[in-house]
Amino acid sequence: MRKRLALVTVVACTAAVLVNTGGTAVAHGSMVWPGSRTYLCYEDGRAGSGGGDIQPTNPACVAAVAQGGKQPLWDWFGNLISNAGGRSREIIPDGHLCGPTTKYDAYNLARADWPVTRLTANQTVTFRYNAWAPHPGTWEQYVTKDGFDVTKPLKWSDLEPVPFDKITNPPLASGEYSWQARLPNKSGRHIIYSLWQRSDSPEAFYSCSDVQFGGGVPDTQPPTAPGAPVASAITGNSVKLDWPAATDNVGVTGYRVQNGSQVVATSATTSATVTGLTPNTDYSLTVVALDAAGNVSPASPSVAVRTGTVGTCAVAYTKPSTWNGGFTANVKITNSGPSAISAWQLVWDFPAGQTLTQAWSSTITVANGKATAKGASYNADVPAGGSVNFGFNVSTTGAVTDPASFTLNGSACTTG
């Protein structure tokens, strides 16, 4: 009965909306081509995870997810202010144009390595904007001024004063709104800033599309190989690499550190720290450079690295509070070894019948009957002779046995 009621509700409301808007088809979402930062990072993250999750590989997208979480990419079409009311320039401060709310703030990061769409100046193209729901409104597309530096925060004064493209209620087809526009006469790296102000509501949507204007000839020339990497700060599970820069006819946008063909780190600079390595293990690491067109350089010479031995660890697991259907657990990791344990990860059995409801001083993921805890930004390392603490709440169904063993960065710890 309730389902039928809900269905009737949807049909009635849809009919009312269609009549109210006179059947006008308009948009809701974000720029798909040239892709906005949230859309292209979403696509990058989906590809990086192999589907089912978001694990971006583009360095800017990686940084954005570290700052703002994965939710803004799952909701890549929701970069909006509900009550903008045509006052976007008044209420959005400089530096926040690409992500005016806290949720999307990470997409304001002033970096050169966001995913880029190559465009040809003065060409007539078809802009595409995804459409989840129909609303009337007007889209304005601005481009950054000559001399714009993408590594500095985007300001309103960085935009040309007049939009190079403006359209009201564009046509809808195949779930997207699309319209033709003539690109501006620009060269090099720019941002196309799209601002959609609904006319039936104060809600407005924002997107930044990173673009490279070229002369119509696609860039197929890859960067040169980076120089030989030098390893330092080797621990049981991490190593820092530095390497001489690669060069490119347009510009190097980032680097990947590889173990064979597996990408183990990305960086926008000539330095990276590879984490998550296994103690007492040999690695042969190389670096490749990328440009904005996605061309990949030959690999650098390799550097051989053998990870160190993880210091002896001890884990104290206590339950200060237990109630019918749940408990609170505190965990203390002590490092009695001679060197710090960086980027610690503690793994223990987490059998069925338990549900993690909250964690503090760490991030905990549960998969395949195992819990994996990682430190927060302020306790990611266990200093030599020191310790870190974290805790979590669990809801339970039935009896739960305390974990008997813990593994820290691949090595077993003593318990008690």
Partner 1 sequence: MKRAQKQVLVALLVVGSVVCALLVARAEPTPDLTKGVDGIAAWLHELTGECADVRKGEDFTAFVGPVRADVYLPSVVEWGTCRKQPYEQLGLIVLRPGIEEAWRNALARGEVRGDPDLAFGDGFALTGSIGMEHLGLKRLECTPGSCSFVQIEHH
Q: Which residues bind partner 1 (CB under 8 A)?
A: 2-3, 5-6, 8-10, 12-13, 15-17, 19-20, 28, 65-72, 74-75, 77-78, 80-83, 96, 100-103, 105-106, 132-133, 135, 201, 203, 355-360, 363-366, 376-377, 395
Rounded to an integer, what distance in angstroms lies between the CA atom of residue 96 and that of residue 339? Answer: 41
CB 371 within 8 A of CB 348: yes
Residue nearer to partner 1 on the CB measure, 57 or 395: 395
> How far out from the chain centre does Cα 98 lie?
14
Name which of 34 and 72 has its Cβ closer to partner 1. 72
CA–CA separation, 104 and 72 (whole Å)? 6
Q: CA 93, 94, 96, 100: dihedral to nearest 10 degrees?
A: 30
Cβ contacts of 328 within 8 Å, gap of 6 or more: 319, 320, 321, 322, 391, 392, 393, 394
- Cβ 365 to partner 1 shortest distance, Å: 5
Task: Please report how close the Cβ of residue 394 comes to partner 1 at its closest, in angstroms.
Answer: 9
Shortest CB 80 distance to partner 1, Å: 7
Which of 17, 245 has the CB closer to partner 1?
Answer: 17
Which DSSP symbol is given to 398?
S
CB of residue 103 to partner 1, shortest distance in Å: 4
Taking the complex as a whole, the smallest distance from the CB of residue 395 to partner 1 amounts, in Å, to 7
Based on CB atoms, which residue is closest to partner 1, 20 or 187?
20
CB of 135 to partner 1, least distance (A): 7
Nearest residue (CB) to partner 1, 37 versus 135: 135
Report the distance separating Cα 141 and Cα 284, nearest Å.
47
**b/e per residue, 54-85, with b = 16+ CB within 10 A?**
bbbbbbbbbbbbeebebebbeebbbbbbeebe
Nearer to partner 1 (CB atom), residue 130 or residue 235: 130
Query: 197 φ, ψ to 5°?
Result: -105, 115
Task: Please answer whether residues 84 and 97 qualify as being in contact, where contact means their C-beta atoms are separated by less than 8 angstroms.
Answer: no
